[in-house]
Each structure stands twice: as structure tokens, then as C-alpha cells.
A and B are shown apart, each in its own frame.
Chain A
């Protein structure tokens, strides 16, 4: 009996993560959280920190809201959700300011804007309000990873093509520049992110057809 339950939750957890990463990916499938995906993907460093911050917020907001889901009065539930999310976002922002100051400066307003990120609110409203804490937490982690995977993927191509670097280290060798290779300035601008995200969405939709 116990093994059966464990097996069930294991496979369920696996399915949830797989779905959030692939079949129902928040960015490339649901097209949520695009604003921050455009803004913080010029470099891998900022994208990774942003992905971690969002994962932290969505996982813990799901957990907390799910624990309170039977006590929250229905008529003020959105306010309660926003209060929980906002508190977590400000804590994340304060921690970044204290320990990762330079990255927090580059992320500027976008950490604060996690409050308005549709992914967080969407998961709280549709999943955490109806499911037990453990599964809700896992759902938050899974969706944060789904968001983060696209963010880091987009940032990889933008940083590589836009400035010839990965994680701040030069990877395009000097002789390539000497031979006339130039970095693609478009990738540093928001339209570059639109194009890369568009390609990701296209790729995923094409692969999912089968």
C-alpha cells in the first residue's frame, strides 16, 4: 500500500515537472511572463538569478496559500494572494540587494515586478487554492523551472550572439573578430528577445504536434 502511494506521488511529481517544463511551459506554451523574459535575458547571470528569484516566490507563495486555502474567505482571496506574493517578492529583493548587489542593480525593477507576473498569480489562483501544500509547492518549483529554462535558454543565445560571451566569459575567439566576425547588436535589444522567444515557441509547437 505504502509503496504504491509513493510510486504514485513520484510519477505524479515527475509528470508535473515534465509538464511545466515542456507541455504547459509558462512562457513558450502559455505565453506568460514575457515582459521579464524580454528584459533580463541579455546576460545569463541575470537570467539565472531572475529564474531563481521567481522559483522561490512561486514555490513558497503556492505553499503558503495552499496551507491557508481552507481559511481564506473567498471574497478577499485575491487580496490575500497578492499580499503573500508581494511579501515574498520584497524579501527576495532585499536578499538580492544585500548579497548580490550588482546583479540586483541590473535586474532593477524586474524583481519587484515578479509581483505582477502572471505565472505566480496564475499558479496561486488555479493550483494552490485547490490542492494540498506538498503538491502545490512542487507545482511552484516545476513552473519556476519551466520559466527559468526558457529564460536561461534565451539568455544563452542572446549573450552568445549579442556579445560573444557566456556567463560573462569570452567564448568567441579574437581571431574570429579579426577575420571580420561582428557581434549581433540586435540580440542586445528587446526585439532580439522577441525573435528568440518566438523561435522557442515555434520549435516547441512543432515538436509537440507529433
Chain B
């Protein structure tokens, strides 16, 4: 056998063996990873509504229990009407309830980022205007730059911001290019959060993403602004 053939054969064998090992590892561990990812999403939903104390450690079971007790998983149609959670159409939405009252609603965020999609949750008070929290559970931004979107200092700035102007028109929440206090005129400051230096593009894409998402959920927000409540569907 020639040397070239030997090299090719060796490379092919290595390739097959490595891919078999990787397939085994990936499919063998998938169940654990999916469980982790699910609990992580639930943790972030709870974080976005401020249901978790920052200094306390929550185990997997704590998160599941809290989530089951406080969060309702629903869907809404284009007119802001609540559909059954199993409905095939409509937009997914979470309701944060306490004592049978809807405290806030949580919009899943799926936005463009600089290097990949940014996934997270934006929680809005039941007045349909005030952001009560923001969290990110998956992204591909550069650690230390765009990756700061997952840090508490960045997410904390969303709390209390307004997604609508006093007349009730949607304004969304944007990420400023720099410090809000320095670059945004005073009358619009409550629609912006501080930007991340070195991550202008991440901020711009996330601003655009949040705007598109809030636009899609505007019927729900508008109903809350106008009617002041959202009926809770029966727990099935």
C-alpha cells in the first residue's frame, strides 16, 4: 500500500471512531442536558420577575416548585385574547401570578445578536408599561463585551423602564450607545438603558429585537394599558 493510501485510510478510521464517540456522548447525555436547559429557562423566567433572591442558592427542585406555583404558561392570539396553553397558534406568554392576581407578564425574547441569537425573558408589569425585569439565558456574544448582557448590572437597568409613552403608544426599550444620562435627552431617558462599551452592535441588534418582539405582543400590552387586567384562564 502506498503512503498516501495509508494516510487516507488512517484518517478515515480516526474520523469514524471519533464521530462514534461523539455521537455516543451526545445522545447518552442528552436527557440530562435537556433537563438542565429546561430548569435554566424556568430559573430565568423567575429571575426576570424578581421572584428569586439574588444571594440565595436555588436547587433544581426549588426552581421547579416555584415555577409551578407562580408561573402560568399561556398563549395569546393577534388580538390579545388568551388561548389555551396547548393551542397550536398564537404567541407563547408567561403570567406571573400571586394570590390569584396577575402581577406581570413575561415575554420570551428571541433576538438577533452579533454572533448568534440572544434568548431571554422580558417581564412587564400588569400596567402594560413598566418593565419589571430582563434576563438572558443563552447567547453567543463575546465574553466581557457583548457577553455583559447576562450580567446583573446590565439587566438591573431595565427595571422600571417604560415600553410606552404617556399617551400609550409603544416606544419599546432601547440600549443607549453609552450612558443614558449622557447621550439621551431627559424626556426619553425612561425608554433607554445604559449601553455596554465595546458592544455597540450587540446593543443595536438587541434594541431592534426587543422592539420587534414588543410590537408582536403589543395587543396584550395594549389591553392591559386600556382595560387594566387580563383574565387568568382556568388551571387545567
Residues of chain A having any CB pair with chain B under 8 Å: 39, 71-73, 75-76, 79-80, 83-84, 86-87, 90-91, 94-95, 97-99, 101, 105, 108-109, 190
Contact = CB atoms under 8 A, between A and B. Distances in A.
Given A75-B7, A83-B18, A108 B40 contact: no
Nearest to B139: A108
Contact of A108 (B10, B22, B33, B147): B147
Interface string B14-37: 110010011001100100110011
B144 A190 contact: yes
Nearest to B60: A101
A101 B14 CA distance: 30
A105 B11 CA distance: 33
A90 B22 contact: yes
Nearest 7 A-B pairs (CB), nearest first? A98-B32, A101-B36, A98-B29, A73-B7, A87-B18, A91-B25, A94-B25
A89 B36 CA distance: 20
A11 B173 CA distance: 66
B3 A97 contact: no
Interface string B153-174: 0000000000000000000000
Given A75-B7, A83-B14, 9 more contacts: A71-B10, A73-B10, A79-B11, A80-B10, A84-B18, A86-B18, A90-B22, A98-B29, A105-B40
Contacts of B39: 101
6 contacts: A73-B3, A80-B10, A80-B14, A97-B33, A101-B36, A101-B37
Contacts of B7: 73, 75-76
Interface string B65-109: 000000000000000000000000000000000000000000000
Chain B interface, DSSP helix/strand/loop, else mixed: helix
Contacts, number: 54
Contact of B29 (A73, A95, A105): A95
B33 A80 contact: no
A83 to B, nearest CB: 5
Given A83-B15, A87-B18, A91-B22, A97 B29 contact: yes
B185 interface: no
B114 to A, nearest CB: 14
Nearest to B144: A190
A86 B6 CA distance: 22
Contacts of B143: 39, 108-109
Contacts of A101: 33, 36-37, 39-40
B55 to A, nearest CB: 10
Contacts of B18: 83-84, 86-87
Contacts of A75: 3, 7
Nearest to A80: B14
B186 to A, nearest CB: 29
Contacts of B10: 71-73, 76, 80
A179 B166 CA distance: 46
A157 to B, nearest CB: 20
A201 to B, nearest CB: 23
Given A76-B7, A76-B10, A80-B14, A87 B33 contact: no
A75 B144 CA distance: 39
Contacts of B21: 87, 91
Interface string B131-156: 00000000000011001000000000
Contacts of A84: 14, 18
Contacts of A109: 143
